[in-house]
Structures are given as structure tokens and as C-alpha cells.
């Protein structure tokens, strides 16, 4: 599905964050030694959603929403969030690293596409990218 409006992109952000938060919660149950870490990641995802939605609601207008600020193919950012029963910790970490990279790429692409038309929304996207890059390093340290 192609995403063109700010509303579509914000809804897709929410979907990505919700799906990946569920995976982190699943990881916390499957790997109790790292449960606090994975639960904190899920909580942080909720914060990313709030951050982006606040930026959106503070600046959105009919002019922006009626226009086409984005050209994003949502299928390019599809997430595989299912953990197999037999997947070991290294494979599970590989999966979440891949998911973090996909979501980070989405936010980067969305920021780049909307940068010339808006200010607050791309800034929020860029802030999420920076935070996700930091947490990706923390995840890699678990490996």
C-alpha cells in the first residue's frame, strides 16, 4: 500500500511501533534473564508513538493533510515479528536487529520525504531515528 498523506504515515508509524512492542514483550517472556531490557524497549516504542503523534497533532492542518507529502510503499517496511518456538536467543536477537533497522529506515525515509514541507514531523522522525540507533547498539551488545 502506498502512503501519501501525513495521516497514513502516522498510522503506519503506530502500526510498526505496536507490532515491534509486541515482539519485545514476547521476548521478555521467552528470555526472562533479559525481561527488563525487552520490557523497557516495548515501553520506549509507546513513547515513540506518542512523540510522533504529538508532533503531528500540533501542526496538522487541512492544507498539509490534503496534500501529498509522502510517497512511501508500506510493504517495503513489513515486519516479521513472530518468534519460532525453536529459535534460540542469537536468532531472536538477529530478528529484532533486523526489525530495528527496518523501522529506522522507515523513519529516515519519512523524515527525508517530508523535510521540505513540514518542520515538526520530520524533526520528530529524526529524533526517533537517533534514539533507535542508540538502542540498536544496546541490542547488539546482548549478542
pLDDT digits (tens, 9 = 90+) for 67-80: 567 899 999 999 99
Cell 517496511 belongs to 77
Q: Is 2 helix (H, G, I), strand (E, B) or coil?
A: strand
Pairwise CA distance, residues 19 & 26, whole Å: 11
**HEC-encoded secondary structure of 58-111:** HHCCHHHHHCCCCCEEHHHHCCCCCCCCCCCHHHHHHHHHHHHHHHHHHHHHHH
Instruction: Please tell me the pTM assigned to this model.
Output: 0.88
136 pLDDT exceeds 90? yes
| Residue 64's pLDDT band (cuts 50, 70, 90) | low
**What's 46's domain CATH number?**
1.20.1260.10
Angle between helices 89-114 and 6-30 (to 10 degrees): 170
* Grid cell at residue 105: 529506515
Mean pLDDT in the chain? 90
Domain tally for the chain?
Answer: 1
Quote the domain boundaries for residue 49: 2-142
* Predicted local confidence at residue 66, as pLDDT: 45
Residue 119 is classified by DSSP as: S
Residue range 133-140: average pLDDT? 95
Does residue 7 carry a pLDDT above 80?
yes
Amino acid at each position: 500500500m502506498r502512503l501519501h498523506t501525513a495521516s497514513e504515515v502516522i498510522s503506519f508509524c503506530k502500526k510498526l511501533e505496536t507490532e515491534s512492542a509486541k515482539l519485545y514483550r514476547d521476548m521478555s517472556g521467552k528470555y526472562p534473564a533479559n525481561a527488563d531490557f525487552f520490557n523497557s524497549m516495548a515501553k520506549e516504542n509507546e513513547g515513540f508513538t506518542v512523540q510522533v503523534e504529538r508532533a503531528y497533532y500540533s501542526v496538522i492542518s487541512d492544507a498539509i493533510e490534503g496534500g501529498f507529502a509522502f510517497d512511501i510503499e508500506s510493504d517495503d517496511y513489513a515486519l516479521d515479528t513472530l518468534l519460532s518456538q525453536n529459535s534460540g536467543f542469537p536468532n531472536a536477537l538477529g530478528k529484532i536487529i533486523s526489525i530495528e533497522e527496518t523501522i529506522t529506515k522507515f523513519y529516515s525515509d519519512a523524515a527525508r520525504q517530508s523535510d521540505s514541507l513540514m518542520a515538526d514531523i520530520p524533526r520528530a522522525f529524526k529524533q526517533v531515528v537517533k534514539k533507535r540507533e542508540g538502542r540498536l547498539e544496546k541490542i547488539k551488545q546482548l549478542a
